Structure 1
Amino acid sequence: MTDPVTLRTSDVVLDPYDYDFHEDPYPYYKRLRDEAPLYHNEQLGFWALSRHQDVREGFRNSTSLSNRDGVSLDPVSRGPHASKTMSFLAMDDPAHLRLRTLVSKGFTPRRIRELEPRVTELAIKHLDAMLEKAGGETVDYVADFAGKLPMDVISELMGVPEPDRDQIRAMADGVMHREDGVTDVPQSAIEASLNLIIYYQQMVAERRKKPTEDLTSALLEAEIDGDRLTDDEVLGFMFLMVIAGNETTTKLLANAAFWGYKNPDQLAGVYQDLSKVPLWVEETLRYDTSSQILARTVAGELTLYDTTVPEGDVLLLLPGSAHRDERVFDEPDRYLIGRDIGSNLLSFGSGAHFCLGAHLARMEARVALAELFKRIRGYEVDEANSVRVHSSNVRGFAHLPMTLEVA
């Protein structure tokens, strides 16, 4: 990296807590890539990388960029305690490799494959309920479908009883919400996190006494050469699933619906051939990824763009920006279903910390969107009353009102 351009030549400001930034971060990202590829925000205390090559190399650099303090910019979430709620995502090797390997014994591709028929059942259940309300009336696609299915799938995996799932979903929503101008985790989110952990603690205690066929029991039984997960390690992974597995998939489903609506020419082919749904999912992951910003802690020597980033500083990786980098993608600001993305997708990270749940997220999105399109001929989004979620790292909709043309 020889380009010496840094913030010194630019007045661009990146504030991940700003509501205007949440509405449309992409013009900010373009200026960062062009004017300040290594950006420094002294006020909020972070650096940021926005170009595709830099973000990908950042994900793969686990030597100079550490996960030890977690991946969130929020100060309360950062620190040695981060692994309690972020599991191995907030660890470096060898601890990361040990925990990830043990978790993988329970969270297997086979378990995900075997879950697909049940995911289809859950999707149909929620779609049927939404379509019943849709007769000429507006439905909230997030509240009625996209916000329900992913959390139900995780609850199904873990073995949460059906009567408790609405309550668990409400807690998960509470963990993520941020008010305008708040640059840390609010008290309401801390309380929601504690309530969620207390619920899962009780579940783990029950499974210790009486194992079942669910993922929670599989995690408790996972063993390699006598090494097993502790209760706290199982809880950390369960919490990670709620945050990383639930919220990002909810946002993916809503982002796909929104951008499909905004680009009807692109969606026409999907209506005619549902085998194109995975291409719709992939382009949504590129064009407007749920997971926009991930933090790392600088460990040791790190020099980028002729600038030494001090040890201990926070550096943000911006996959949301990387996916719009014209150095990698032709016409990156066009939503083009079926484009060749190849290995350039960074929505699930890259390297040692590549998302363990990527196959689950893709399967859920494929099933959900295909089942939706089996039941409708068209839909219209009420853009004026759509509400974006406000988060320092996740992008998507809190509410997406729409009218459906039932098939």
Structure 2
Amino acid sequence: MELFYSPFDFSIQDDPYPVYARLRDKSPVYRNETDDFWALSRHADVMAALKDATRFSSVNGLRIEPAFWGPDAERFFSFVAMDPPKHTRMRGLVARAFTQRRVQELEPRIREIARGCLRPHLEGGTFDLMTDFAARFPTDVISELVGVPEADRDLVRDLGMAIMYRDEAGGDLPPEALQAIGALVGYYTELTVERSKERRGDLLSGLLDAAEGEDRLTPEEIVGVLILLVGAGIETTMLLLGNAWHAAWRHPEQRARAFAGRVEDWVEETLRYDPPTQALARTATEEIELHGVKIPADARVLLLTGSANRDPDVFPDPDRFDLDRDTGSSLAFGNGRHHCLGANLGRLEARIALQELVGAVADYEIDIKAAKRVHSSNDRGFASLPTRITARA
């Protein structure tokens, strides 16, 4: 069988892991001529590339769809689509506002939000984990973090969902998604102007106050960070929750252990076993030779983090879902200078959401035939997970 990989192939997206195994074994530096990219699949190679921002540049963005790829990528990805020194400056300023203390102080409100999102859907014995809970919960958490007024949160949630849910592989964003991005930019611009006149204890106020000497973020840069949070802070957490729910359902013994108090291990093993982000794009800044293959300068390179997390050289028996596993080498949140700034928040959200689910649900069954996956070149997860629950007495 001829070896083929494309992030735009729906049949591969349904279960990419056997294809990843063949790539690691047969073609660790894989060339796709049709979609014009190279792919690295082994853990050591992906890790090295993530740490090498000089030869593997981020300036053209993290995704290779035409709508996202190119010199204007920072419009969608903010500082994540920048190289030093520009990246160093902007990430440093954002980090002054997006502190661990700010995240930790949010924990009680995150738990309240989780309970409020869950409560209406657990009384009838059936609910859709994704549409009823996992989509709304992280959206409301990010709104709480940013400082979006309660009255505006339904609007922000609807615009965020219009951007995230796409059913086309490749090609440009549909018109409604572009309109939603424009509307969010307009909304966050107005909110930034309003908050500049009166600070509060939220992230937006922190971004306005962040300074390195005389250097501050511009209003446009702040809005860019807020747009980034739609994908980086909402979509990935939503997909992580669904992937954790699905993985535990498929592995009853591990589910029992997760439900018996191993929620943090459940989160970490899901991030390794079935991470929401499967690939990160880079641009080769010079010719790079690896495993006897030459990647030309200016080539698009996909770093397959989803494959790296199943590399048997790092994770023994990698296709086994095991809460006892050492997940310290997982690349679910990237590595190097672009390691996800919101990793702590993502972990906290997932832990609280799953704890609240475990506190209300004794056991559950997924109607897998009715489940639907999202279609995305670099994200993996579900748009729908119909679930029948057995409530705790």
TM-score band (shorter)?
Answer: over 0.9
Separation in 2, partners of 1:394, 1:269: 27
**2:321 counterpart residue number:** 335
TM-score by length of structure 1 reads 0.94
Q: Distance in 2 between matches of 1:404 and 1:172?
A: 28
Equivalent position SS for 2:311: coil
What does 1:5-404 align with in structure 2 at a 5 Å threshold? 11-132=2-123, 135-136=124-125, 138-272=126-260, 274=261, 276-342=262-328, 344-404=329-389
How far is 1:395 from its partner? 0.5
- For residues 297 and 158 of structure 2, what CA distance do their matches in structure 1 show? 39
TM-score (norm 2): 0.97
Deviation at 1:181, TM superposition (A): 4.5
Paired residues of 1:293 and 1:319 also in contact (CA < 8 A): yes
Contact 2:163 2:178 in 1 (8 A): yes
Structure 1 residue 178 displacement after superposition: 2.7
Q: Distance in 2 between matches of 1:35 and 1:175?
A: 37
How far does residue 305 in structure 1 lie from its aligned partner after superposition?
1.8
Moved more, 332-341 or 112-121: 332-341
Q: Secondary structure at the match of 1:81?
A: coil
Q: Deviation digits for residues 350-403 of structure 1, max 9, x if unmatched?
A: 111100000000011111101111111111111000000111111100011001
**Structure 1 residue runs of 4 or more that deviate by more than 6 Å after TM superposition:** none
Q: State the AA in 2 paired with 1:251.
A: L
Distance 2:87 2:168 in 1: 34
SS at match of 1:329: coil
Unaligned regions of 5+ residues in structure 1, if any?
Answer: 1-9
Aligned-partner residue type, residue 210 of structure 1? E
User: 3-state SS of the aligned residue for 1:336?
Assistant: coil
Quote how far apart the aligned CAs of 1:182 are. 3.9
How far apart, CA to CA, are the structure 2 residues paired with 1:213 and 1:327?
A: 46
- Separation in 2, partners of 1:90, 1:378: 42
Deviations 1:179-222 (A, max 9, x none): 34443333332222112111111111111222222111110111
8 Å contact kept, 2:169–2:376: no
Aligned residues: 392
Larger mean Cα displacement after TM superposition, 166-175 or 198-207 = 166-175
Whether the 8 Å CA contact 1:253–1:365 is kept in 2: the answer is yes
For structure 2, the residue ranges without an aligned partner over 5 or more in a row are none
Question: Conserved in 1, the CA contact under 8 Å of 2:138 and 2:238?
Answer: yes
Q: Residue by residue, what CA displacement relative to the aligned partner does 1:310-356 show, whole Å, maximum 9, x if unpaired?
A: 111110000111111112111111111121122x1100001111000
Write the distance in 1 (CA, Å) between the matches of 2:148 and 2:171.
Answer: 32
- Give the match for residue 6 of structure 1: none
Q: Counterpart of 1:17 in structure 2: which amino acid? A: F
Q: CA deviation at 1:167?
A: 2.2
Name the residue aligned to 1:4: none
Q: Following the alignment from structure 1 to structure 2, what is the Cα–Cα distance between the partners of residues 156 and 240? A: 16
* Cα shift at 1:62: 0.6
Aligned-partner SS, 2:73: helix
Distance in 2 separating the partners of 1:179 and 1:398: 10
- Deviation larger for 169-178 or 15-24: 169-178
1:77 partner SS: coil
CA contact under 8 A between 1:176 and 1:391: conserved in structure 2? no
Instruction: Calculate percent identity across the aligned residue pairs.
Output: 47
* Displacement after TM superposition at 1:68 (Å): 0.7
Contact 1:84 1:233 in 2 (8 A): no
In 2: Cα distance, 1:86 partner to 1:125 partner: 30
Contact 1:84 1:232 in 2 (8 A): no
Aligned CA RMSD, in angstroms, stands at: 1.3
C-alpha contact 1:18 1:180 (8 A) present in aligned 2: no
